[in-house]
Amino acid sequence: MVSVRDVNGQIFVERLAKYLFENYKDIIKPPSWAFFIKTGPDKERNPDFPADVDYNGGPGWWYYRAASILRKVYLYGPIGVSRLRRKYSGLRKRGMEPGKVVKGYGKLIREILHQLENAGLVMKVNEGKKKGRVVTNNGRSLLDKLANEIYKELNNENKNLIDYIKSVS
């Protein structure tokens, strides 16, 4: 069985962002303040395309970040906001001094996790040492189904390329 680990992360996040935008638009949506913030203290500007919809009519940066967080919860769960902040950390420029690693914004991550919980894709776990968020069964089946589709598409493209190379040589 193909899982999320077997697929390229960038391709998977793009496909998952489109899926979240098309099917969970009423639950997962950027708040009003998402249009004015940066994605982390290491960034100098806010994202280039809007939070709700980009210029091609597809998902905005909010949906890409939600898809990325959902993927990270699947891979590393149970995971909390603090560890996710470290995953989205960056190097803050300080002029002539050496850069300093700073964590990503927790409010942004927390808001997306709440929305993913309301969508039924993520849930809280509080069992002894294992605290944080994990993917629900519905979320796991959704992610595995998407990973399986992407894997099959990539295999078909590779087979077509191999057939083409054999026919040319």
Per-residue pLDDT tens over the stretch 78-89: 888 888 888 888
CA gap 124, 26 in Å, rounded: 22
CA gap 147, 124 in Å, rounded: 24
78: cis peptide before it, omega within 30°?
yes
Please tell me which residue, 18 or 40, carries the higher pLDDT value.
18
Looking at mean pLDDT, say which of 27-36, 70-79, 88-97, 127-136 comes out highest.
70-79
| Cβ atoms of 143 and 135 closer than 8 Å | yes
Q: What range does the domain containing 47 cover?
A: 4-168
The tens digit of pLDDT for each residue in 133-167 reads 999 999 999 999 999 988 888 887 777 655 655 66
Domains contained in the chain, number: 1
Neighbouring CB atoms inside 10 A of 60's CB total 21
Q: Output DSSP code: residue 53.
A: B
Classify residue 154 by burial, with Cβ atoms within 10 Å: 0-12, 13-18, 19+. middle
Give just the sign of the alpha carbon dihedral 75, 76, 82, 86.
negative
CATH number at residue 126: 1.10.10.10
CA gap 123, 63 in Å, rounded: 19
- Give me the count of residues in the chain: 169
Mean pLDDT, the chain, whole residue set: 84
